[in-house]
A and B are shown apart, each in its own frame.
Chain A
Amino acid sequence: MTDANGAIGRSRLERLLRAGQFAVTAELQTTDSADPGSVFELAELLRGKVDAVNCTDNSAAHPHISAVAAARLLIDRDVEPIVQFTCRDRNRLGLQADILGAAALGVRNLCCMTGDDVTAGDHPEAKPIYDLDSLHLLRMVRILRDQGTYLSGRKLTEPPDVFVGAVENPFAPPLDFRPLRMGKKIEAGAEFIQLQLVFNLEVMRVFADRAGELGLLERAFVLPSVYVPRSTRALRYMRDAVPGIDVPETMIERMERTPRDRQEEEGLLIAHEIIQAVRAMPGMRGVHLISIGGDDLVVRLIEEAGLLPRPKLAVEVASA
């Protein structure tokens, strides 16, 4: 857990955060391929550009390659994964089996969430599970890790050694409850929190202030998410089709005023401004970057926002 230079952490991401580095994570594009090469290609693009990569769990309720499998493929290409676990597709037995399995395959970061409902996906006829909610899942991971038992109390031979994360959405009603809910997730076991995509900086500021007052920013590492819009259409899609997202009208107007061929550049600029703004908020410990339809824009954003080179741990510098 401790490296030669005293940086503590179960994962590289945790060690960087504990060392006070501003972390950068990104989301792996979903793949619908049984060919490991499809994940390797994405890994090549992101290696060295981000500190860890989220492997989504049937995102937007569409089946894709298993998050745990994709994570192992990333590890094979020297990219650290964060495996997302949702409560939609597995009951407490399936979840625990996959948490152990993921840890056995070398996964050291988990991120727990409720998950989009099956009605949002391409299999709306499916039976949603929701045996546990995301807070139960968080606590269950901590029981596995810290108590070395299953939820039932039955002993594990070797507990999963994972850094535990959660998500929170500062922008969905009831807004007053959102900081308290993040606090509840921290009580349940979350050590890092990836926030929903930030478009509305006013709401984000109110949330961050309240979280600070509640002392939550000292108890968990909080990383807001930033989206790189390619076009007005992409922004409108976020506002209208993705539940829980708050895109201010002024931002859509700004994109509309931009000629079609320059909208991608404008999107990069918007994302860059949001990164600077959240970075200036006290207690924000990194950013999580998302683009839809290709990681090239995320990589450009990382370059242009001055987030390169990514920090190295002291032990990595010593062995280089």
Chain B
Amino acid sequence: METNLDRSPPITAADRGSFTKAVLAVEKLTKEKIWDCRMCGQCILHSTGMSCPMRCPKNLRNGPCGGVLQNGNCEVLPDRPCVWVQAWEGSRRLPVWRRHMEHLMAPVDWRLQGTSSWINFWTRRDKHMPAGWKAAGERIGGHR
């Protein structure tokens, strides 16, 4: 199994060009304003009921932790609603992508933090997965 060749394209000079900077500025401005986006560079908003999972203090990508308070607020920031409670409710209101809440999301590629998820989508850099994860495919689970 190849590991080195499977790396996503490195951040290059093109990422510092004026076009990239302009796209980044527009994305940051709009998504931070509307969704309190944290610019992880690998956006899965549509899969999480339009509630940005990176706002979760534990950076969870696959649903709420077990510490959600009985009133639906976050255990770490008790005066704020749990972003995953919002994600679940938001996903129920979406006409599409509802089942995405049940999909297993890949680990975060922390190198992309602060880059434009729009550009990473076009360059497919956001499709990168560790080779072992990719080899595991869709299904593993259960005891039989």
Q: Do B62 and A136 have beta carbons less than 8 Å apart? A: yes
| A-side contacts of B61, CB under 8 Å | 133, 135-136
Residues of B within 8 A of A92 (CB): 107
Contact B132 A153 (CB under 8 A): yes
Give the chain A neighbours of B130 by CB distance below 8 A: 151-153
In the assembled complex, the Cα of A173 lies from the Cα of B69 at a distance in Å of 7
Q: Could you say which of B27-35, B38-46, B52-60, B120-128 contacts chain A?
A: B52-60
A288 to chain B, nearest CB (A): 14
A220–B140 Cα gap in the complex (Å)? 12
Q: Which residues of B contact A146 (CB under 8 A)?
A: 136, 140
CB interface residues, B 1-33, toward A, < 8 Å = 1-3, 6
The answer on a CB contact under 8 Å between A114 and B85 is no
Interface of B is mostly: loop
Question: Are B3 and A154 neighbours in the complex by a CB distance under 8 Å?
Answer: yes
- Given A136-B62, A177-B101, A142 and B140 touching (CB < 8 A)? yes
Contact B66 A117 (CB under 8 A): no
Interface 1/0s, chain A 118-149, versus B by CB < 8 A?
Answer: 01100000001011111110011011001101
The reply to whether the CB of A233 lies closer than 8 angstroms to some CB of chain B is: no
B98 → A minimal CB distance (Å): 11
Closest partner residue, chain A, to B58 (CB atom) = A130
Contact of B94 with A by CB under 8 A: no
> In A146-193, which residues have CB < 8 Å from any B CB?
146-147, 149-155, 167-169, 172-174, 176-177, 180-181, 183-192
A220 and B102 in contact (CB under 8 A), knowing A153-B131, A174-B64? no
Tell me, yes or no, whether A196 is within 8 Å of chain B by CB: yes
Interface residue from B89, B131, B134, B140 paired with A174 (Cβ < 8 Å): B89
**A77 contacts partner chain B, Cβ-Cβ < 8 Å:** no
Q: Which of B64, B136, B140 has the most chain A CB atoms closer than 10 A to its own CB?
A: B140
Alpha-carbon distance between A113 and B70 when the two chains are bound, in angstroms:
20
Interface size class of A (residues with CB under 8 A): 35 or more
A residues 205-249 with Cβ under 8 Å of B? 218-221, 243-244, 246
Interface size on B, residues (CB 8 A): 48
Shortest Cβ distance from residue A239 to the other chain B in the assembled complex, whole angstroms: 9
Which residues of the partner chain B approach A51 to less than 8 Å between Cβ atoms?
Answer: none
Flag if A174 contacts B84 (CB, 8 Å). Answer: yes
- CB pair A188–B141 under 8 Å, yes or no, is yes
With a CB–CB cut-off of 8 A, which chain A residues contact B68? 169, 172-174, 243-244
**A153, B143: Cβ atoms under 8 Å?**
no
Q: Which of B72, B132, B140, B142 contacts A173 (CB 8 A)?
A: B72
**Is residue B76 contacting chain A, with contact meaning CB distance below 8 A?**
yes
Question: Do the beta carbons of A246 and B70 come within 8 Å of each other?
Answer: yes
Q: Are A184 and B104 in contact (CB under 8 A)?
A: yes
* A116 contacts chain B at the CB level, 8 A cutoff: yes
CB contact list, A90-133 vs B, under 8 A: 92, 113-114, 116-117, 119-120, 128, 130-133
Q: Shortest Cβ distance from A1 into chain B, in angstroms?
A: 13
Contacts of B104 in A (CB 8 A): 135, 139, 184, 187-188
Please give me the residue from chain A that is nearest to B72 by CB atom.
A173
Q: Are A139 and B143 in contact (CB under 8 A)?
A: no
Cα–Cα distance between A4 and B117 once the two chains are bound (Å): 55
Distance in angstroms from B59 CB to nearest chain A CB is 5
Known: A188-B104, A196-B66. A219 touches B89 (CB 8 A): no
- Interface residues in chain A, defined as those with a beta carbon under 8 Å from any beta carbon in chain B: 18, 87-88, 92, 113-114, 116-117, 119-120, 128, 130-136, 139-140, 142-143, 146-147, 149-155, 167-169, 172-174, 176-177, 180-181, 183-192, 196, 218-221, 243-244, 246
Given contacts A134-B60, A142-B140, A153-B1, 10 further A-B contacts (CB under 8 A): A130-B60, A139-B133, A142-B141, A149-B131, A149-B135, A154-B132, A168-B66, A169-B66, A188-B62, A220-B141
